[in-house]
Structure 1
Amino acid sequence: MGHLAYFFQRRNTVLLIQAGAILLLISTALTWVAVDAPGVQPVELSGAAMAPIVRTIGMLAVVAGVLITLFRGWFRGALGAVLLGGGIIAGIAVILAMVDPVAAASAASAVNGAVEAEYSTGGALWAGLVGSLALLVGSLAVLLFSQSWDDEAQPGRAADRRGSAR
Protein backbone atom coordinates (compact mmCIF):
# COMPACT_ATOMS: atom_id res chain seq x y z
CA MET A 1 0.00 0.00 0.00
CA GLY A 2 3.03 2.26 0.38
CA HIS A 3 3.51 2.69 -3.36
CA LEU A 4 -0.15 3.62 -3.84
CA ALA A 5 0.06 6.20 -1.06
CA TYR A 6 3.18 7.65 -2.68
CA PHE A 7 1.52 7.85 -6.10
CA PHE A 8 -1.72 9.32 -4.77
CA GLN A 9 -0.18 12.34 -3.13
CA ARG A 10 -2.31 15.47 -3.12
CA ARG A 11 -0.97 16.84 -6.40
CA ASN A 12 -1.50 13.63 -8.39
CA THR A 13 -4.91 13.01 -6.89
CA VAL A 14 -6.15 16.51 -7.66
CA LEU A 15 -4.78 16.27 -11.20
CA LEU A 16 -6.63 12.98 -11.67
CA ILE A 17 -9.88 14.51 -10.39
CA GLN A 18 -9.47 17.57 -12.62
CA ALA A 19 -8.70 15.40 -15.67
CA GLY A 20 -11.82 13.33 -15.00
CA ALA A 21 -13.92 16.46 -14.61
CA ILE A 22 -12.62 17.94 -17.85
CA LEU A 23 -13.26 14.69 -19.72
CA LEU A 24 -16.83 14.65 -18.42
CA LEU A 25 -17.38 18.25 -19.48
CA ILE A 26 -15.91 17.67 -22.93
CA SER A 27 -17.93 14.51 -23.44
CA THR A 28 -21.19 16.28 -22.65
CA ALA A 29 -20.44 18.93 -25.26
CA LEU A 30 -19.97 16.30 -27.98
CA THR A 31 -22.35 13.84 -29.67
CA TRP A 32 -23.31 10.78 -27.66
CA VAL A 33 -25.94 9.32 -29.98
CA ALA A 34 -26.76 10.12 -33.61
CA VAL A 35 -30.28 9.26 -34.83
CA ASP A 36 -30.96 8.88 -38.56
CA ALA A 37 -34.66 8.24 -39.28
CA PRO A 38 -36.18 8.18 -42.76
CA GLY A 39 -38.10 11.34 -43.61
CA VAL A 40 -36.64 13.24 -40.66
CA GLN A 41 -33.51 15.36 -40.41
CA PRO A 42 -30.66 13.46 -38.73
CA VAL A 43 -30.44 14.31 -35.04
CA GLU A 44 -27.21 14.40 -33.04
CA LEU A 45 -27.77 14.28 -29.32
CA SER A 46 -25.05 15.65 -27.08
CA GLY A 47 -24.32 14.36 -23.63
CA ALA A 48 -25.79 17.53 -22.16
CA ALA A 49 -29.11 16.81 -23.86
CA MET A 50 -29.15 13.15 -22.91
CA ALA A 51 -27.80 13.32 -19.35
CA PRO A 52 -27.55 16.86 -17.97
CA ILE A 53 -26.53 15.44 -14.60
CA VAL A 54 -23.18 14.40 -16.09
CA ARG A 55 -22.33 18.01 -16.97
CA THR A 56 -23.35 19.08 -13.47
CA ILE A 57 -21.11 16.40 -11.96
CA GLY A 58 -18.22 17.60 -14.15
CA MET A 59 -18.59 21.17 -12.92
CA LEU A 60 -18.93 19.97 -9.32
CA ALA A 61 -15.75 17.93 -9.69
CA VAL A 62 -13.78 20.93 -10.93
CA VAL A 63 -14.79 22.92 -7.86
CA ALA A 64 -14.26 19.96 -5.51
CA GLY A 65 -10.75 19.43 -6.88
CA VAL A 66 -9.86 23.00 -5.98
CA LEU A 67 -11.47 22.75 -2.55
CA ILE A 68 -9.55 19.56 -1.78
CA THR A 69 -6.32 21.53 -2.09
CA LEU A 70 -7.58 24.29 0.20
CA PHE A 71 -9.22 22.37 3.04
CA ARG A 72 -8.23 19.40 5.16
CA GLY A 73 -9.68 16.93 7.60
CA TRP A 74 -13.30 15.88 7.56
CA PHE A 75 -14.18 18.36 4.77
CA ARG A 76 -11.82 16.53 2.40
CA GLY A 77 -13.53 13.28 3.33
CA ALA A 78 -16.94 14.78 2.62
CA LEU A 79 -15.73 16.05 -0.77
CA GLY A 80 -14.29 12.63 -1.53
CA ALA A 81 -17.62 10.99 -0.72
CA VAL A 82 -19.53 13.46 -2.91
CA LEU A 83 -17.09 12.84 -5.78
CA LEU A 84 -17.41 9.09 -5.32
CA GLY A 85 -21.19 9.32 -5.66
CA GLY A 86 -20.85 11.67 -8.63
CA GLY A 87 -18.44 9.32 -10.38
CA ILE A 88 -20.82 6.42 -9.88
CA ILE A 89 -23.82 8.37 -11.18
CA ALA A 90 -21.90 9.68 -14.21
CA GLY A 91 -20.60 6.19 -14.97
CA ILE A 92 -24.10 4.72 -14.82
CA ALA A 93 -25.46 7.42 -17.13
CA VAL A 94 -22.72 6.83 -19.69
CA ILE A 95 -23.00 3.05 -19.54
CA LEU A 96 -26.78 3.20 -19.98
CA ALA A 97 -26.33 5.35 -23.09
CA MET A 98 -23.74 2.89 -24.42
CA VAL A 99 -25.77 -0.23 -23.76
CA ASP A 100 -29.15 1.02 -24.99
CA PRO A 101 -28.76 4.10 -27.23
CA VAL A 102 -32.36 3.71 -28.47
CA ALA A 103 -33.88 4.20 -25.02
CA ALA A 104 -31.42 6.95 -24.15
CA ALA A 105 -32.11 8.84 -27.38
CA SER A 106 -35.87 8.33 -27.13
CA ALA A 107 -35.91 10.10 -23.79
CA ALA A 108 -34.10 13.15 -25.17
CA SER A 109 -35.25 13.35 -28.79
CA ALA A 110 -38.28 14.18 -30.89
CA VAL A 111 -37.61 10.96 -32.82
CA ASN A 112 -39.33 8.90 -30.14
CA GLY A 113 -38.49 5.29 -30.86
CA ALA A 114 -38.82 5.45 -34.64
CA VAL A 115 -38.85 1.84 -35.79
CA GLU A 116 -36.68 2.30 -38.86
CA ALA A 117 -34.26 4.78 -37.32
CA GLU A 118 -30.58 3.99 -37.09
CA TYR A 119 -28.89 4.80 -33.81
CA SER A 120 -25.13 5.14 -33.55
CA THR A 121 -23.06 6.03 -30.54
CA GLY A 122 -20.31 8.62 -30.63
CA GLY A 123 -16.78 8.42 -29.29
CA ALA A 124 -17.59 11.00 -26.65
CA LEU A 125 -19.23 8.25 -24.61
CA TRP A 126 -15.80 6.70 -24.12
CA ALA A 127 -14.42 10.03 -22.90
CA GLY A 128 -17.30 10.21 -20.44
CA LEU A 129 -16.60 6.69 -19.24
CA VAL A 130 -12.89 7.40 -18.73
CA GLY A 131 -13.78 10.66 -16.96
CA SER A 132 -16.15 8.92 -14.58
CA LEU A 133 -13.54 6.24 -13.85
CA ALA A 134 -10.95 8.94 -13.14
CA LEU A 135 -13.38 10.57 -10.71
CA LEU A 136 -13.97 7.23 -9.00
CA VAL A 137 -10.26 6.50 -8.58
CA GLY A 138 -9.48 10.08 -7.51
CA SER A 139 -12.27 10.15 -4.95
CA LEU A 140 -11.19 6.80 -3.51
CA ALA A 141 -7.64 8.17 -3.24
CA VAL A 142 -8.96 11.20 -1.34
CA LEU A 143 -10.89 8.96 1.03
CA LEU A 144 -8.00 6.55 1.60
CA PHE A 145 -4.87 8.70 1.51
CA SER A 146 -5.74 12.33 2.28
CA GLN A 147 -5.05 11.88 6.00
CA SER A 148 -1.40 11.17 5.20
CA TRP A 149 -0.88 14.17 2.91
CA ASP A 150 1.67 16.70 4.13
CA ASP A 151 -0.41 19.86 4.21
CA GLU A 152 2.35 22.09 5.48
CA ALA A 153 4.89 21.30 2.77
CA GLN A 154 4.37 23.61 -0.16
CA PRO A 155 6.87 24.30 -2.94
CA GLY A 156 9.28 27.06 -1.96
CA ARG A 157 8.33 27.12 1.72
CA ALA A 158 10.64 24.37 2.96
CA ALA A 159 13.70 26.48 2.11
CA ASP A 160 12.20 29.48 3.91
CA ARG A 161 11.65 27.50 7.12
CA ARG A 162 15.19 26.09 7.04
CA GLY A 163 16.68 29.50 6.42
CA SER A 164 14.76 31.20 9.24
CA ALA A 165 15.80 28.59 11.81
CA ARG A 166 19.47 29.46 11.50
Structure 2
Amino acid sequence: MENKASKRRRSVDCHDDDANNNPIQRKVWVSQKVSDAHDPAKMREVHERTTKMLFEGAAASHAPSVATAPALHEHYHLLGDGSILLRDLHPDAANPCLERLKSRCCQRQTLIHGSCINCSMDLCEECGYSCTECTHFICRSCVTVFDDRPENPLCERCQMFYT
Protein backbone atom coordinates (compact mmCIF):
# COMPACT_ATOMS: atom_id res chain seq x y z
CA MET A 1 0.00 0.00 0.00
CA GLU A 2 1.09 3.37 -0.83
CA ASN A 3 1.45 5.90 1.88
CA LYS A 4 -0.55 8.84 0.68
CA ALA A 5 -0.16 12.17 2.50
CA SER A 6 -3.47 13.38 3.67
CA LYS A 7 -4.46 17.02 3.79
CA ARG A 8 -5.02 18.68 7.05
CA ARG A 9 -8.63 18.91 7.86
CA ARG A 10 -10.22 22.17 8.80
CA SER A 11 -11.47 22.45 12.28
CA VAL A 12 -15.13 21.84 12.55
CA ASP A 13 -15.43 23.76 15.80
CA CYS A 14 -16.14 27.19 14.32
CA HIS A 15 -17.62 26.56 10.93
CA ASP A 16 -20.00 24.24 9.33
CA ASP A 17 -18.69 22.46 6.25
CA ASP A 18 -21.57 23.74 4.15
CA ALA A 19 -21.05 27.38 5.18
CA ASN A 20 -18.60 29.75 3.54
CA ASN A 21 -15.40 29.31 5.48
CA ASN A 22 -13.76 32.45 4.12
CA PRO A 23 -16.20 35.35 4.23
CA ILE A 24 -15.09 38.72 2.83
CA GLN A 25 -14.63 41.26 5.55
CA ARG A 26 -15.30 44.91 4.81
CA LYS A 27 -14.50 47.96 6.85
CA VAL A 28 -16.66 51.01 6.43
CA TRP A 29 -15.38 54.33 7.68
CA VAL A 30 -18.15 56.57 8.90
CA SER A 31 -17.22 60.23 9.25
CA GLN A 32 -18.62 62.56 11.84
CA LYS A 33 -20.61 64.30 9.09
CA VAL A 34 -22.37 61.08 8.12
CA SER A 35 -22.99 60.25 11.74
CA ASP A 36 -24.45 63.72 12.38
CA ALA A 37 -26.72 63.43 9.34
CA HIS A 38 -28.83 60.89 11.21
CA ASP A 39 -29.14 63.05 14.32
CA PRO A 40 -32.09 65.49 14.02
CA ALA A 41 -30.67 67.86 16.63
CA LYS A 42 -27.40 68.20 14.72
CA MET A 43 -29.22 68.71 11.42
CA ARG A 44 -31.39 71.43 12.99
CA GLU A 45 -28.21 73.17 14.19
CA VAL A 46 -26.70 73.02 10.68
CA HIS A 47 -29.92 74.39 9.22
CA GLU A 48 -29.95 77.31 11.66
CA ARG A 49 -26.31 78.17 10.94
CA THR A 50 -26.89 78.02 7.19
CA THR A 51 -29.97 80.23 7.41
CA LYS A 52 -28.08 82.75 9.53
CA MET A 53 -25.22 82.88 7.01
CA LEU A 54 -27.65 83.40 4.12
CA PHE A 55 -29.44 86.27 5.85
CA GLU A 56 -26.14 87.91 6.84
CA GLY A 57 -24.90 87.65 3.24
CA ALA A 58 -28.12 89.15 1.89
CA ALA A 59 -27.94 92.01 4.39
CA ALA A 60 -24.30 92.68 3.48
CA SER A 61 -25.11 92.86 -0.23
CA HIS A 62 -27.70 95.59 0.40
CA ALA A 63 -25.48 97.57 2.74
CA PRO A 64 -23.50 100.46 1.25
CA SER A 65 -20.30 99.06 -0.13
CA VAL A 66 -16.88 100.34 0.83
CA ALA A 67 -15.53 102.64 -1.87
CA THR A 68 -12.83 100.88 -3.81
CA ALA A 69 -10.25 102.81 -5.74
CA PRO A 70 -11.35 103.06 -9.36
CA ALA A 71 -9.06 101.90 -12.11
CA LEU A 72 -6.80 104.36 -13.90
CA HIS A 73 -8.83 104.17 -17.10
CA GLU A 74 -11.84 105.52 -15.22
CA HIS A 75 -9.96 108.69 -14.24
CA TYR A 76 -7.63 109.42 -17.12
CA HIS A 77 -7.94 109.57 -20.91
CA LEU A 78 -4.81 108.80 -22.97
CA LEU A 79 -4.34 110.41 -26.37
CA GLY A 80 -1.31 108.35 -27.44
CA ASP A 81 1.12 111.26 -27.64
CA GLY A 82 1.95 111.54 -23.95
CA SER A 83 -1.06 113.75 -23.15
CA ILE A 84 -3.29 112.84 -20.23
CA LEU A 85 -6.80 114.26 -19.83
CA LEU A 86 -8.78 114.02 -16.61
CA ARG A 87 -12.24 112.51 -17.07
CA ASP A 88 -13.96 114.13 -14.10
CA LEU A 89 -12.85 116.90 -11.81
CA HIS A 90 -14.79 116.03 -8.66
CA PRO A 91 -12.81 117.35 -5.67
CA ASP A 92 -14.24 114.69 -3.35
CA ALA A 93 -13.46 111.76 -5.66
CA ALA A 94 -10.69 109.38 -4.68
CA ASN A 95 -8.01 110.08 -7.27
CA PRO A 96 -5.21 107.57 -7.62
CA CYS A 97 -1.76 108.90 -6.85
CA LEU A 98 0.44 109.24 -9.88
CA GLU A 99 4.20 109.30 -9.61
CA ARG A 100 6.86 109.32 -12.25
CA LEU A 101 8.36 105.86 -12.60
CA LYS A 102 10.28 104.13 -15.34
CA SER A 103 7.75 102.46 -17.62
CA ARG A 104 8.09 98.80 -18.54
CA CYS A 105 7.12 99.36 -22.18
CA CYS A 106 9.37 102.19 -23.38
CA GLN A 107 11.69 102.79 -20.40
CA ARG A 108 10.65 106.47 -20.05
CA GLN A 109 9.70 108.26 -16.85
CA THR A 110 5.89 108.21 -17.05
CA LEU A 111 2.88 108.72 -14.79
CA ILE A 112 0.47 106.09 -16.15
CA HIS A 113 1.43 102.42 -15.84
CA GLY A 114 -1.24 100.08 -17.16
CA SER A 115 -1.85 97.19 -19.49
CA CYS A 116 -3.65 96.84 -22.81
CA ILE A 117 -7.18 95.42 -22.66
CA ASN A 118 -6.59 93.54 -25.95
CA CYS A 119 -3.18 91.94 -25.56
CA SER A 120 -2.19 92.58 -21.90
CA MET A 121 1.02 94.34 -22.94
CA ASP A 122 2.34 97.08 -20.67
CA LEU A 123 1.64 100.66 -21.69
CA CYS A 124 2.12 104.22 -20.51
CA GLU A 125 0.75 107.60 -21.60
CA GLU A 126 3.36 107.72 -24.37
CA CYS A 127 2.45 104.29 -25.77
CA GLY A 128 -1.24 103.99 -24.96
CA TYR A 129 -4.63 105.22 -26.09
CA SER A 130 -8.03 105.18 -24.46
CA CYS A 131 -10.87 103.39 -26.20
CA THR A 132 -13.40 106.01 -27.23
CA GLU A 133 -16.34 103.82 -26.14
CA CYS A 134 -15.38 101.87 -23.00
CA THR A 135 -12.40 104.04 -21.86
CA HIS A 136 -10.07 101.04 -21.30
CA PHE A 137 -6.43 101.48 -22.28
CA ILE A 138 -5.16 100.11 -25.61
CA CYS A 139 -1.49 99.84 -26.60
CA ARG A 140 -0.11 101.51 -29.73
CA SER A 141 0.51 98.13 -31.39
CA CYS A 142 -3.15 97.11 -31.13
CA VAL A 143 -4.31 100.49 -32.44
CA THR A 144 -1.92 100.18 -35.40
CA VAL A 145 -2.84 96.59 -36.21
CA PHE A 146 -6.60 96.52 -35.52
CA ASP A 147 -7.86 100.06 -36.05
CA ASP A 148 -8.16 101.99 -39.32
CA ARG A 149 -8.71 105.33 -37.58
CA PRO A 150 -6.20 106.05 -34.81
CA GLU A 151 -7.97 109.37 -34.06
CA ASN A 152 -10.89 107.33 -32.58
CA PRO A 153 -9.30 104.14 -31.28
CA LEU A 154 -11.52 101.25 -30.27
CA CYS A 155 -10.61 98.13 -28.32
CA GLU A 156 -11.27 94.72 -29.84
CA ARG A 157 -14.57 94.25 -27.96
CA CYS A 158 -15.94 97.69 -28.92
CA GLN A 159 -14.94 97.18 -32.57
CA MET A 160 -17.32 94.24 -32.75
CA PHE A 161 -20.25 96.44 -31.74
CA TYR A 162 -19.47 99.94 -32.99
CA THR A 163 -17.90 99.49 -36.43
Q: TM-score, normalised by structure 1?
A: 0.20
Greater relative contact order (CA < 8 Å, ≥ 6 in sequence): 1
Whichever of the two has the greater Rg, that structure is 2
TM (norm. structure 2) is 0.21
